[in-house]
Amino acid sequence: MIAAVSAVLFVVALVAGCSADSGEGQPGREAGPVARVTMTPGAGDAAVSPTAPVSVSVSDGTIDQIALSNDASGKQVAGELSPDRHTFRATEPLGYGAAYTWTGTAVGSDGKPVPIDGRFTTVAPERTVPATLNIGDGQEVGIAAPIILQFQGPVRDKAAVEKALTVTTQPATEGAWAWFPDDNGGARLHWRPKQYWTPGTTVHVAANLYGVDMGEGSYGDADLTSDFTIGRSQIVLADAPSHRMRVVRDGQTVFDFAVSYGEGNEARNVTRSGIHVVTEKYEDFLMSNPPYYTNVRERWAVRISNNGEFIHANPESLAAQGSANVTNGCINLSPADAQAYFGTALYGDPVEVTGTSIDLSAADGDLYDWTIDWETWQSMSAVDGAPSPVVSATPLAPAPPR
């Protein structure tokens, strides 16, 4: 019996001895590696883009706790921790001209904590440049509608801006961006397809402008998006010598109106030839062109250029409609015909005017996109890093309305 007890005590002693040999600091065993923390941007970095990737990664360990906070507000930045707890990344953009601080702890393979701490600051622009898109969500537009980005200030680095833009279409549509001369208080950029849009096309525009360095201290103010649809094909065929105007919808003539075009005895009253685009319409519109007339009320007015050209009703030219061109540059219809056409017109419908002595050009306003041949249009992009050319024309006296 004494021998049996002695044997048990001996086994316990051996087990205890084995356990003691595996302790920290004993020969033959090393502690696990210390956690290594990498921050992007690095601690102390300045003038960081607010849309740059922001993350913390840990090797030889995992993230235990972590937060990125705005120093001024104390608000935490939204983020995502990877399932293996090796990486944390911010999932929302940062602010301009702000300081951010990391706080947290990583735990290494050695079981010991390592602090996560660091501070960086974002770029503080001299100015931000707001922009607007001309086509809103859910809008249905005509087959000649351009997409227009109007910036409320100059854009020096046009290539950087253009690279932040995408146009996604279904079905696929060939098209391109083109820069126009700075006007309307700032830079202007248009996108149009090579040919008229295919009816029913869906379009998504994403202008990821926030955080974009536009040059000379200017940065993008905010992101913009738009989702819209191309409607039916409707083309106005306006042949001045015939004194008629046909409306062709999906290949079929739906209206054939007697009309009167610009008299054409002076440059100011020539209806311009070329592809115009419907931009807006008014049931009632006061038209003025001193010294010829002021605040004349016209009905069913559809604007087709910014030089004062409209398609509208005019009872005063009724006797000439279908037989003579007597207007100051607009296309005149009878009240009944003008009202019938008015109800069908969409923003972006093409109006193809032919047979007059002066072509539509840059001198006639800011929407003359379809007068520019495709090769020239492509050269007006800045994505190759070359300066955007300026399309210009010798200014003419604008054709007055009516």
Radius of gyration of the chain (CA): 34
- Which of 190, 243, 276, 312 is the catalytic position? 312
Strand ranges for 52-146 from DSSP E:
55-59, 61-70, 79-81, 87-90, 99-108, 113-115, 118-121, 127-129, 131-133, 140-141
Q: Is 312 a catalytic residue?
A: yes
Q: Which residues contact 373 (CB under 8 A, 6 or more apart)?
A: none
Three-state DSSP at 342 gives helix
Q: Which of 132, 249, 137, 248 is nearest to 202 (CA)?
A: 137
Query: Residue 190 gets which letter from DSSP?
Result: E
- Which of 190, 243, 276, 330 is the catalytic position? 330
- Dig out the tokens for 135 from the structure: 């086509």
Q: How many CB atoms lie within 10 A of CB 134?
A: 18
Three-state DSSP at 336 gives helix
User: Residue 188 and residue 178: Cα distance in Å, rounded?
Assistant: 9
What DSSP string runs through 3-47? HHHHHHHHHHHHHHHHHHHTSTT-TT--PPPPPEEEEESPTT--S
The catalytic residues are 312, 330
